[in-house]
A and B are shown apart, each in its own frame.
Chain A
Amino acid sequence: MMELRKTLAGRIALTAVATVILLFLALPIVVILVTSFSSNAFSAFPPEVWTLNWYKALFADGSKWPAALSLSALVAALSTVFSLIIGVTAATALVRSELPLRSAVFALVLGPLLIPQIVTALGLFLLFEPAAMLGSPIAIALGHTVLASPIAVLILIATLRGIDERLEDAAASMGAGRLTIARKITFPLAAPGMIAAAIFSFITSFDEFYISQFLSSVDTVTLPVQVYNSLTFEIDPSVTAVSAILIAFAILALGLVALVRWLGSGRQQSLLSVENTVGVANPGGDAV
């Protein structure tokens, strides 16, 4: 490849600055993971004494965390189901049909991703408050689906675009009916995308804070809201352990998506390639 020659000094400088920026991104996460095992849960770094106390405290009697965790899991599971239903149908409509007002529908789908979440949350609050649905897990899940379903739609659009529609024609030419084609051809090929859509929907809901905060009541507090409350009102050292769990959870989810993508792509690119990583980060591609 014809390219500009790079000077050694320039490269060293660039690498050094890039390393600092990467540290800037990674440190807040690393510090939580480390501190969660430290006897002093708030500041001292690196820890002088290692301990599992904060993790144990999570499940001690009177702890608010188990309830928050199970509520978040329930809400996330619900909005994953909603998002998948919406995502599969919407992506089919947008990719595999002649839809009138196609770009208007697409703009509507992108809307929740572009508009400040606080505005969406406020709107949902105004919708659910008069209906006396504040604190209802269903309401929170419905609200989260507003944010999660567009992500599912984008991922599934990319998935469907990646499946050659003529494969379905080929199957038809051999005598396969509509249902057989859907079951034997389209579904297996779309499965990795659907798994990715499910994971991202789940994590979007699980981490969501604005809508949860507006729609929660005293008794129904999701995990992120509980984290926020512990950081502002009641100083609870277990919050470090919870944060560490949330980090582990996010990494696990991303790892799963990367794995599914990698398996789905027929292991063509290496698992740890920029393409795979960026693909994981931008599931909808350049849809925006």
Chain B
Amino acid sequence: MAEFDVVTPSVKVADGTLPTATGKALSVVALRKTYGDVVAVDEASMEIAAGEFVTFLGASGSGKTTTLMMIAGFCEPDSGTITVGDRDVTKLAPQKRNLGFVFQQYLLFPHMTVSENVAFPLTLRGVPKDEIRRRVGETLEIAGLSGFGNRKPRELSGGQQQRVALCRALVYRPPVILMDEPLGALDKKLRDQLQVEIKAIQQELGLTVIYVTHDQEEALVMSDRIAVMRNGLIEQFDTPRELFERPRTPFVADFLGAANFLPGHIEQHTDEHTLVRLDASGGLIKARRHQPASGTEVKVAVQPGRLRACATDDGFCTGTVETATYVGTLVRAGVRIDGGDAPLLRLEVPAGRGPVTGERIGITTDPEDVNLFADEQGG
């Protein structure tokens, strides 16, 4: 999954209109937005490099869409600044920001053909007719829509309409393209397919994209970096791999990795590892070295897929398999840990080697996959 690292923009765009091939495309400083007493976005800051695919990931109400709308100019921040390239656009109307926007509801102009829709932003910019025709043709071809130019939007499927919307947003090469859950209205299969397509187009053209979604998998598949948002705060802004493997907060560990959380106490630190005594089973688990700010009470987080079943005397704990669900290539198991009333420990193991219900097993993992968090109150 999380195999995308930061992609350096490939500068193979023919006409060289890519505005900023390197350097920062957009920066946001201390952006804040409140609605009455509700803080929708709290002091969000980030810098986005040209050619980067950045995703705002969060549940509804996390502030991801509000942040995007502030960048687009559809909603004005209470404080903070937004800079596109070197231009401060904080106070500008949307039409003056020269950004691209792809909406979840496509919002193609129903009275225009596909070509006219894609040509619209170019017409606004006074691009000559021949040039418009050429660029519209090129763009439609990139999106696999050649031959659809004379159709009306309603004659296209949802996926095709969203491709047109994408073309319309990128045909004028805005320095940054904003996408607000563009695949939210499509079914799963089409969504998967378009994720790959959008990513490919973005990489090929070296586009800078800010993408909003609530779907973790989508974010992991597409993004160079993901900003995980909660309650108006950016919890962590990192590459998918870092977020997945080195979550900085329990929320991130839970939201992206659906981690198991086990309370425990730090026993000792070695050079590379920290040993934690689990409260539930009394067993010892080895984690990456972690020095909490205070105290020795920690939460141990391990993702279900990083746990393995082993002989009963090999693991950090033992337990009884209570549920085992076959889900295609995987078996999802719920294990009742001996000695304690902790919730079921969730495991994901390859099908075929999966444990069976009622079996007693030991559970083990690699220290590299174990994250420790200071045990916040109730957190």
Contact = CB atoms under 8 A, between A and B. Distances in A.
A180 interface: yes
Interface centre among B98, B100, B103, B169 (most CB of A within 10 A): B103
Contact of A170 (B93, B101, B172): B101
Contact of A174 (B73, B74, B93, B124): B124
A174 B110 contact: no
Contacts of A11: none
A172 B95 contact: yes
B105 A173 contact: no
Interface in B28-74: 72-74
B98 A175 contact: yes
B120 A174 contact: yes
A157 to B, nearest CB: 19
A166 B102 CA distance: 12
A185 interface: yes
Contact of B168 (A174, A177, A189): A174
A114 B38 CA distance: 44
B99 interface: yes
B176 to A, nearest CB: 11
A176 B100 contact: no
Contacts of A174: 95, 100-101, 120-121, 124, 168-169, 172
A169 B172 contact: no
A175 B121 CA distance: 7
Chain A contact residues: helix, strand, loop or mixed: helix
Interface residues on B, range: 20 to 34
B353 interface: no
B251 interface: no
B263 interface: no
A269 to B, nearest CB: 13
Nearest to B69: A169
A170 B102 CA distance: 8
A175 B110 contact: no
Contacts of B109: 167, 170-171, 185, 189
B154 A173 contact: no
Nearest to A174: B121
A164 interface: yes
A266 B152 contact: yes
B152 A164 contact: no
A188 interface: yes
Contacts, number: 64
Interface string B60-90: 0000000000001110000000000000000
B156 interface: no
Given A180-B124, A266-B152, A266-B154, A172 B107 contact: no
A266 B110 contact: yes
A78 to B, nearest CB: 30
B111 A188 contact: yes
B125 interface: yes
A184 to B, nearest CB: 8
Given A169-B74, A171-B120, A266-B154, A176 B95 contact: yes
A174 B125 CA distance: 10
A8 to B, nearest CB: 41
B94 interface: yes
Contacts of B169: 173-174
Contacts of A189: 109-111
Contacts of B121: 174-176
A174 B124 CA distance: 8
Contact of B107 (A164, A184, A268): A164
Interface centre among A164, A173, A176, A268 (most CB of B within 10 A): A173
B95 A177 contact: yes
Interface in A174-207: 174-177, 180, 184-185, 188-189
Interface centre among A164, A174, A175, A177 (most CB of B within 10 A): A174
A19 to B, nearest CB: 38
A176 B154 contact: no
Contacts of A173: 72-74, 94-95, 99-101, 169, 178
Contacts of B100: 173-174
B125 A175 contact: yes
A194 to B, nearest CB: 14
Contacts of B96: 175
Contacts of A172: 93-95
Given A169-B103, A173-B94, 5 more contacts: A166-B105, A171-B120, A175-B95, A175-B172, A266-B110
Interface of B: 72-74, 93-96, 98-101, 103, 105, 107, 109-111, 120-121, 124-125, 152, 154, 168-169, 172, 178
30 contacts: A164-B105, A164-B107, A166-B107, A167-B110, A169-B94, A169-B103, A169-B107, A170-B103, A170-B107, A170-B109, A171-B120, A173-B72, A173-B99, A173-B100, A173-B101, A174-B101, A174-B120, A174-B121, A174-B168, A174-B172, A175-B96, A175-B121, A175-B124, A175-B125, A175-B172, A176-B124, A184-B120, A188-B111, A266-B152, A266-B154
Q: Which 6 A-B pairs have the closest CB atoms?
A: A173-B101, A174-B121, A170-B107, A172-B94, A172-B95, A188-B111
